[in-house]
Structure formats: C-alpha cells, structure tokens
Amino acid sequence: MDIARLSIDRPIYTWILILICLFGGIWGFSTLGRLEDPAFTIKTAVVVTNYPGASAREVAEEVSEPIESEIQKLGEVKEIETMNQPGLSWLSVTMKDEYDGTELPAIWTKLRNRVAEARLPTGASAPFVNDSFGDVYGLYYAVTAPGYSDAEINELADFLRREVLSVDGVADAIVSGVPNEAIYVEPDLALTATLGIPPAAIQGAINSADEVVDSGEVQRDNGRILIQRPDGSSSVDEIAALSVGVGGEVVNLIDFAKVHRDRESDPELIIRHNGVDAFTLGVAGISSENIVEVGKRVDAKLEELKSEIPLGVSVLPIYQQHEVVEAASNDFLVNLAMSVTIVIAVLAVFMGWRASIVVGVTLLLTVVGTLFFMAIGSIEMERISLGALIIAMGMLVDNAIVVAEGMQIAMAGGQSSREAASDVARKTQIPLLGATVIGIMAFAGIGLSPDATGEFLFSLFAVIGISLLMSWLLAITVTPLLGHYFFRRGVAGESGSYDGGLFRAYASVLRLGLRLRWLVVVLLMATTVVCYMLFGQVKQQFFPDSNTPLYFVHYKLPQGASIHQTSADMQKLEDWLEEREKVVAMTSYSGQGAARFMLTYAAEDPNPSYGHLIVRVSSLDVIEEEMRALEDHAELTLPQGEVRVQRLAFGPGGGAPIEARFSGRDPAVLRALAQDAIERLSSASEDILNPRMDWREKELVLRPVYADDRAQEAGVSRSDVASILRFATDGLQAGTFREGNRQIPIIVRAPQDEGMSLSDHVIYSDSANGFVPLAQVIDGFRFEAQDTLIQRRDRTNVITVGADIPRNMTAAQVFAEVRGVIEGMELPEGYTMEWGGEFESSSDAQASLGKQLPLSLLIMVLISVLLFNALRQPIIIWLLVPMSVNGVALALLGTGMPFTFTALLGLLSLSGMLIKNGIVLVEEIDLTREARPDLPLKDAIVEASTSRLRPVFLAAATTILGMLPLLGDAFFRSMAATIMGGLAFASILTLIAAPVFYYLFFRRSAAKAAAPVPAAA
C-alpha cells in the first residue's frame, strides 16, 4: 500500500490525523495527571509489636522470630528486616519485584493472616500491620501555635485534618508531632504508706471510674430499651475527687495525691519549625488526580480557613509538590519550545525554510500526539516522561528529515510531489520502521525491568515508544502532504543537489578513507581501545542529587540518650541556622524523621537518640557552601553526636553510600567483625566519613537482684518488683480519660521531685497486708551492658557497617578503594559478608536490566537481519555499536560528569540512534547498487553516502542541540552529555566507518560480479 501517495491523493484522511493529534494533544496536556516523580510501588509493609518489659534479645527471640517464621511461609516475600528494641519489634517486609501495585492488596491480606497465626508470649500486644508505609504526603505543612495549650493544639490538629480531608482529590491526611497529654496521679508516698494504700488500689479505682461496659437492655412488648452505664468522670477535678476504699475506710484521691494534666514526659516525636514548636500536616492526593489541581484546592481551603483559625496560628509550607510539578510543567513547555525552535533553525539553515516548516510541523504534531496517547494510557506528566520527550526530540525529527529531504531532492530533479513521495516512502518506510523499532527496543530493557528502578523509569520507555512510532507514522503521512504543499518542483536535468562544497569535501574524504581503509580500521580500533581505557576513569554514580534546594541533617547521639537531649542539641543547630541569611526555612525532628513527603524520601527508624533536620536554602548555588558550614559548626559545638549532612537524591535507593553487612548468630562476634571492618575502612581510604554500625553502642541497663528467699517469705514476686520500679519512674497506666475523640492516659506515678532513690521505695504485700521495703526483697542493683538495638535480616542476626563519602566523590570511587580490604577479612565459620548501599542498589538495578537486555538485543538483531534478508549488512551496522562509547567517554571526562544510571539509558538510546542511521545508510548503498549495477562499488558507496550526509548530519545536529536545555537539569545532565558527545562521534562512525566496513565486506563479491564471463568454447 502506497501510504505516502494516498496521504496526498486523499488529504482529508491526513487532515483528520493532523486534527486528532493537535486537539487530542491539547486535551491530553490539560487532562494529564501531574506528579513530581513517577509513581513506583513501595512493596514494603511494617509489622509493629509491643512487648513491654522485654529486652531487645527477648523481643528478637520471643516475638520477632515467631512472626518472621510465619511470614517466611509466604512465597511472595523477598526479604524480612527486623529492628528489635527493648519492648518493641519492628519488622519491614518487602515483596518480590515481580508483584505490582494491583496485586499488593491481596498480598497484604495474606500477610495479616500469617502474622495473626504467630504464637506470641503473654504480655505481647497484637501485631499491627501497616501497609500504608509507602504513602506520599506531597503537600507538607508545619503548623505553629505559640501560646496555646496542648489541648487546644490537639483540637486544632483534628480540625485541620478534618477540613483538609473534605477537599476534592485528597486521599489522606496525617498529623505528626502533636503534643500528647497525660493525666498524672502522684500520691504522697508517706501518706499512702501510712494509710496502707498500694498503687494497685489507686489503679483499680481510676480504671473503673470511666470504664465502658455493657449494661444490658429491657425487652418490652412494644420494643426494647437500651440501658447504658452511669456517666463517668469527665474532668480532671472529678478524677481527683474519686474515692478509694482501703481497710473499710473511704478516702478521696485529692486527700493524698496530686492530680494534674500535663504533656507526656517522654514524647515519641518533637517537631519545631524555624525554631518554634510545631506539628506537621501531610496531605496525600488520590493517585489518579492531577496533583497540581489538588494542591491548589488544598491551598485555597487553608486560605479559606484563616478566618476560623485562632489568631497566632500559622500554617507554613515545608514542601509543596504541586508547585514543584507546575514549575516542571512550565519548564517543559519552555524546553519544548526551545527544542522545536532549535530544530527549525538548524533545518532552515541547511535545508531551507520550506523544509524547516515541513519537518517542524511534523515534529510538533508528534509531540502533541504523544501527549494525547499518554493521556489515553494514563501516563502522567512527571520528571521522567517530560525528560523522555526532550530526549526523543532529536530522534523524532530523524524520520521526517529522511522523507522531507528525499522528496525535496526528487522534486528538485523534476518529479511531481506524488511521484517523489511515493518513491521516497517505497525506499525508506520499511527501513525507517525497522530502525524505529530498534530505537524503541534499546529502551525496552529498562522499561520491562520489574524492580523499583524499572518501575521508576517505565514512562521513559513508554513515552519514547509512543513518540517514535508516532514520528514514523507522521513521517510517511503528514510530511508528504506538507511537502506537496511547500516544496517546489524543479526542471528535469537541473544540477544535482549534492554538488555543494560540503558534499564534495565529504566525498573526497570518504574516497581517501576507502583507499586507506586498513589504516582507518586500525585507527578506529586504537581509538576505541583508548576510549574504553579512559571510560574506566569516568566517575560512576547510581542516581544524581536532586535539583531541589533542600538538604537533610541526620544527628545521632549515643544509644540510650533521651529525646530531650536530642532535642536540646537540635535546638543548638536551629539557633545557628536561624542566623544564616541563605537559609529560607528549617524543620527539626527529634525521635524520628519526617513523613514521606517525596517518593524518594525515606525516614530513619524511630529512636529517641536520633535527630533530623530539613533545611531549605535560597538556591542550589549556595547549598554546598551551607552544608559545609553546618558540618564545620556541628563539629565544634556537638562533638558528642554524629552529624551527617546529605543532599536529596533522585530515584530509588537508600542506606549509606558504602555498606557492608555481616551475618551470623553470636552478637559478640558480629560486633567484633563490625569493629574490625570500621578500622579497615578508615585505614583503607581517607574518603571514608562517619563509619558506624547500625547496632550502635551497647546501653547500660539497671537490673535489680531478686532475693528469692526473703522476697518469697514477704510475698513479693518479681512482677511486684517490676511494677514498683515502673511506678517510681515512668508510672503505671491506670485508665483512660476520654475527651471527644481523644483518649488521654491516666498515669499513676511517684512524685518526680521527691529525690528518692529506687531502693527507698516500698512494695505492698498482700500476704503481709502491708508495705515491705524494696531493699528487703532485693540484693541491690547491678549494671549490665546490653544490645538495645538488634537488627535481623531473613531471620538471621545482621550487623551493618555504613560510611559516608565526600560529596565531590562518588560511591563507586570510594568503593573501589575499600572493597579489597573488606573482602579480605577472615570470617569465622557460619558468618557471611555481603555488600549493601549504593553498590547493592546499582548492582540489583543493572542485574535486572541485564535480564531484559538479551531479549531486547535479540529482537534488535533479528529486525536488522530481516530488514536486509542477509547477514553482512547487519554485521556492518553492529560493528559500529561498541565504538559509540568513544564519544561518551570523551564527553563525560571533558565535562567531569559521572556515568549515572540515566547516562546508561543515554548510552542505550545512542546505540539505537546509531543503528538507525547505519540501517538507512547501508540500505541506501544497497539500493544504489541495485539501481545501477554497472556502477563500481566505490562509486556506489560514495554516491549513496553523500546522499545520506544531510539527513545524518541534521539528525545529529538537531539531537545534540535539542539536548542543550537538559544540561541544566540535574537528573538528565549526564544523559544529555552522553548523547551529545556520543552522537557527535557516532555520526563520524556512520559516515566514515560504515562505508569503509561495507567496502571491506563486499569488495570481493563486487569484484567477482564485475569480472567478465568467459566466452563459451
């Protein structure tokens, strides 16, 4: 079917296609979902179980082990990581890569069922499975309310969350850092001892005061009447007025105890924003909604609520994803306009204004048509998909240039537009289609990768696939029609279009290359060897740093430090940051990190000794200077803690840049191995910073020595001793005070300002019907150094040694320096070592990519073989591919940019472009030889190659110049440099190396065909 001729003979069909692309693209752009980063599924759930009073070792053995054992029975599980702390088991369960988001809900249900079957010890809570671990709260605010009470702040938090949830498009909202309150009952110890009132009696009286119990119902002939319990104590004063019966007498709480409402003594999280106490409000949009519109609606709602929010309350943004996304969309439009302008300008210079309009309009229709199909396929506009359109820009123009240039030349030679379109399309549409599919398949490896990296970059493959297929379709339909309208028909026999000085110079160089063909081959091989050696000097990096002007501070005090110590140290950093002119805002967290406000952000596990800062600076230009200044300041003012300053990075990953994991049974052996590894790392490289182990320091634990004989004689059990010690310190929960939807714990504890030592307390003995001194039933206290942070991985104890690196170095560089000394460690039998950190993340991603590449490569090779129905032509083309690295190595070394994962994608696309150009060139040589069999091989090669000079040159020039806008994007910078440098060199390969290889492969067969046939005898 002659599609090109039909597009001119039946223009109505082509115009319908044009209008569909144009208006469909406008509709698509207005309706496409917008995100900052592409959505990839975080296939992790968290299982939390409390086991009060147990040590970390007991938690690991009695709680984590049974739960892990049940979870391991699930075939979908990839790995189980467990953090064990005194009284707390925290399991992170990650599913295998092949399961996508649609399958996870059913898997989480199976996980819950398995966890529920675990046999846990008495005293352990029911495990809580949190499968919302990966939710992203991209609209993230800090709320400050100085001068307001904790109760008012809680009421404000509930109000804001309730109102925000009513906004259309909002999926969820969370508040964090809201000060929790407690009602403390602190009895006078002397009075309670005199009156004989044990803490248990106080607990019982409080617990029954507002207990919710079923009171039954009365059945009557005309229906039923429900009976409800009497109203309970509804205020602190009423709790204080409760009576306690002891020894036949009744006394009120207030007679012997102080009852007051106050903030919890040891909160789990303390937040400040710009130095002021705050809580955070995180808002997540529905995944199918446009986050820009959702964000604007949320902002409008918060603005509307200002009249209802009390004076002095401020809602301040920490991170506003919708503004970032809107800026990215606007930047895309600017980059798109720049790229189209560059393409049109280059084409106008080298092909004339008519051709520039024809190709430029085709390019524009390709882009808007791609947006149309993106909307149909629910592919959001985000960093990767927008970048893919820019990356594809030069590739998109290639098909149109080949068709337009062919038509222009044919019409200049006297052919009609229909004849020219038909002739060009007949010769090029199949080679161009095959080359286009090969270009798409170059990205299939990453698009089909089932892991998080593949999911993160899937839209790159999808958008490039859609856009390249659109470019081929429009090149054989719209381009011929526009050429029919714009190109002028010349007079038959006019001077050739390849008589210009550039074409003659290229022909002369090519003839010289064919004459010195072996020298050309040797030079190409030598250059390739040298460039591969140089490529070894290129810095390696997994994903680059983000271009958001945010940086993080991770602060860690020795294990066992209180959250108040951590908060006080964080306050020192905040006070210093407040004086920095280039710091725009800061938010501090003590006890744990922030909510997941970006998909690529991962907070540390909860720990009272951990502090976190999110610092926003005025611009990226000052971020390094500010980070260095903070590091220097912290080194002087906070020598007791570990300070790590970190940029936000693109893409999935996690952990320290350098990590080594040691697995085995004995914690003491693991600690010794970890300490040895830390010393080896530090001595092997000066670039190892902050080496640490994730079990952290052992913590001193105070343990009473139970005197069996005396205690049993006194009727005091071990539980009684534990209870009185808890009463003397944290307090005993006696009940719950309900206030609206809040449940405030009521804590009975010893007065905090009595100055009593633990051994001064007395224990009530039921058998003795009186108090017994604690010192009588114990033989004092002893200190023990315990592991209070035990990490496990797949049911095995694992200790991880992590280290940071200088920001001007890549993890690969430092890893190369230290790899040998760690792998050279002698490990006891039963102990293993494996690498984590960036090495593991990049290795896993590249391994996954490697699994898909063979299939992609096979398809690419098969297409090239089928196109030519021969082997020699594909071999010629594929010989060029390894040489494409030459320009990449020179470009990256020249710019100092690292070879990132996105640069690897650029290298794949470069291979696709090189193969595409090679196919068109070799096909043209074959067609020239077929059309003019008497033409000598050298002349046929030179003539065909000269006719391909302009399309190859223009495709390379437009692609290289079209990459210029991406050089300012941190994520795509190394990819742009890879394509620009690689394509510049690849164009030389196409125009010189391919013809030389063709001559070497076909010289003998051409000579045989040209030899005279002997006359018959």
Kindly state the average pLDDT of the residues 292-310.
Answer: 90
Percent of the chain with pLDDT over 70: 92
Report if residue 810 sits inside a domain: no
Q: What confidence score (pLDDT) does residue 219 get?
A: 65
Cα(479)–Cα(246) distance, integer angstroms: 98
DSSP label at residue 651: S
Are residues 27 and 53 both part of a single domain?
no
CA distance linking residue 350 with residue 591, whole number of Å:
64
Confidence (pLDDT) at 113: 92
Q: Are the beta carbons of 346 and 954 closer than 8 angstroms?
A: yes
One-character DSSP codes across 407-470? HHHHHHTT--HHHHHHHHHHHHHHHHHHHHHHHHHTTHHHHT--SHHHHHTHHHHHHHHHHHHH
Mean pLDDT comparison of 222-226, 240-244, 334-338, 656-660, highest-scoring range: 656-660
Higher pLDDT, 34 or 74: 74
Question: Distance from first CA to last CA of the chain, Å, rounded?
Answer: 49
Q: Work out the pLDDT band at 835, boundaries 50, 70, 90.
A: very high
CA atoms of 925 and 230, how far apart (whole Å): 98
| Per-residue model confidence (pLDDT) at position 235 | 62
pLDDT bucket at 495, cuts 50 / 70 / 90: very low
CB 699 within 8 A of CB 786: yes
pLDDT at 800 over 90: yes
Rounded to an integer, the average pLDDT of 91-101 is 85
Q: Which among 819, 526, 522 is positioned nearest to 658, based on CA atoms?
A: 819
Strand locations in 10-110 (E) = 44-50, 77-85, 88-95
Are 1002 and 860 members of one domain?
yes
Q: Quick one: 856 and 977 in the same domain?
A: yes
233 or 827: which carries more pLDDT confidence? 827
pLDDT of res. 232: 47
Rounded to the nearest 10 degrees, how much is the dihedral formed by the CA atoms of 202, 207, 209, 212? Answer: -170
Strand partners, 172: 284
Give the residue with greater pLDDT, 734 vs 222. 734
State which of 490, 518, 553 marks the end of a domain.
490
- Same domain as 929, residue 905: yes
Question: Same domain, yes or no, for 508 and 450?
Answer: no
Mean pLDDT over residues 231-245, rounded? 68
Query: Would you say residue 554 lies in a domain?
Result: no
**Is 453 domain-assigned?**
yes
Instruction: Classify residue 644: in a domain, yes or no.
Output: no
- Mean pLDDT of the region 562-591: 93
- Which pLDDT score is estimated for 230? 55
How many domains are there within the chain?
Answer: 4
Q: Are residues 514 and 439 in the same domain?
A: no
Does a structural domain hold residue 626? no
799 close to 673: Cβ distance less than 8 angstroms:
yes
pLDDT of residue 1017: 43
For residues 860 and 962, membership in a common domain is answered with yes
Task: Name the residue among 507, 496, 485, 492 with its Cα closest to residue 404.
Answer: 485
Band of the pLDDT at 834, cuts 50, 70, 90?
A: very high
Instruction: Note whether residue 668 is domain-resident.
Output: no
Angle value at C-alpha 260, between 254 and 262, nearest 5 degrees: 170
**Does residue 869 sit in the same domain as residue 897?**
yes
pLDDT band at 492 (very low <50, low <70, confident <90, very high): low
Band (491; pLDDT cuts 50, 70, 90): low
Answer yes or no: do 90 and 227 share one domain.
Answer: no
88 domain residue, yes or no? yes
- Domain with 357 in it: 1-31+352-490
Q: How far apart are CA 763 and CA 344, in angstroms?
A: 90
Q: Crossing angle for the helix pair 885-895 and 901-931, nearest 10 degrees?
A: 140
Given this model, what pLDDT does residue 3 score? 83
Q: Are 176 and 269 in contact (CB under 8 A)?
A: yes
Q: What is the pLDDT of residues 372-402, one digit of tens each?
A: 999 898 888 887 887 787 777 767 777 888 8
Given 779, 800, 827, the domain boundary residue is 779
Query: Is the pLDDT score of 498 beyond 80?
Result: no
520 and 428 part of one domain? no
Q: From CA 748, how far away is CA 735, in angstroms rounded?
A: 9
Q: Give residues with Cβ within 8 angstroms of 842, minimum separation 6.
A: 540, 542, 812, 901
Q: Please state, rounded to an integer, the average pLDDT across all residues of the chain.
A: 84
pLDDT in tens, 181-220: 888 888 988 888 888 888 888 887 787 665 544 556 666 6
Q: What mean pLDDT is predicted for residues 976-995?
A: 85
d(CA 1006, CA 1008): 5
List, in order, residues 6 or more apart from 905 with CB less than 8 Å away. Answer: 443, 446, 457, 460, 975
Q: What is the DSSP string of 256-316?
A: HEEEEEEE-SS-S-EEEETTEEEEEEEEEE-TTS-HHHHHHHHHHHHHHHTTTSPTT-EEE
CATH of the domain at 518: 1.20.1640.10
Q: Do 109 and 8 belong together in one domain?
A: no
Task: State pTM to two decimals.
Answer: 0.78
| Final residue belonging to a domain, choices 89, 111, 133 | 133
- For residue 768, name the pLDDT band (cuts at 50, 70, 90): confident
CATH number at residue 64: 3.30.70.1430
Pairing of strands 77-85, 88-95: antiparallel
**Residues 482, 367 share a domain:** yes
- Report the 3 state secondary structure along 900-962: CHHHHHHHHHHHHHHHHHHHHHHHHHHHHHHHCCCCCHHHHHHHHHHHHHHHHHHHHHHHHHH
In a domain, 275, yes or no: no
